[in-house]
Amino acid sequence: MPSTEATPENAIVLNNFGGQHQLCIENALDLANALELDNALWMATSVPVDGLHCDESFLKILDTEGNGRIRADEMRSVIKWTLKLLKNQECISERNEQLFLGDLNEADDEAQKLIDAAKHILNNLGEPDGRSISLPQIRDTKRINAEANSNGDGVVIPGAASDETAEYMKAVM
């Protein structure tokens, strides 16, 4: 895995957009470089959430204080978290709508929880051998719950139990 620490070899690249110099972010190295920027160099140290054209759920995650604003330090936290979870950081620049489970750093406890959750969702969606997951799949809670062995209604079906327990459940029923 390449280092994402900012070095002279991966120096910060600024582009001039409409008279404003802005950080060019195209890959994981550029994100790592953003971590090193002084607050004065950020385009805005705080931006109102309602002024952004972005997925509303994502914006709620970024706005950790729930104050309707995303601050530079909140962005830094998300960038660090993202880089920590990915063992294949090149996937950031691939612009793929799928998250390949193999790109996650299974040595990290949090990433392993994400892998387990993704596998659980894929299994419930009838794709137990799935190697990637998409946002629409994650958000398909109706289908995920409908296909689950335990869907929250309090009824546990024999298919959700071990073979021995399933046999006992069938006998009782």
pLDDT at 98: 94
Q: 122 and 116 in contact (C-beta within 8 Å)?
A: no
Q: Tens digit of pLDDT for each residue in 105-127?
A: 999 999 999 999 999 999 989 99
* Residue of higher predicted confidence among 141 and 63: 63
pLDDT at 134: 94
- Using CA atoms, how far apart are residues 23 and 38, in angstroms rounded to an integer? 12
Averaged over 87-99, what is the pLDDT? Answer: 90
Mean pLDDT, all residues of the chain: 84
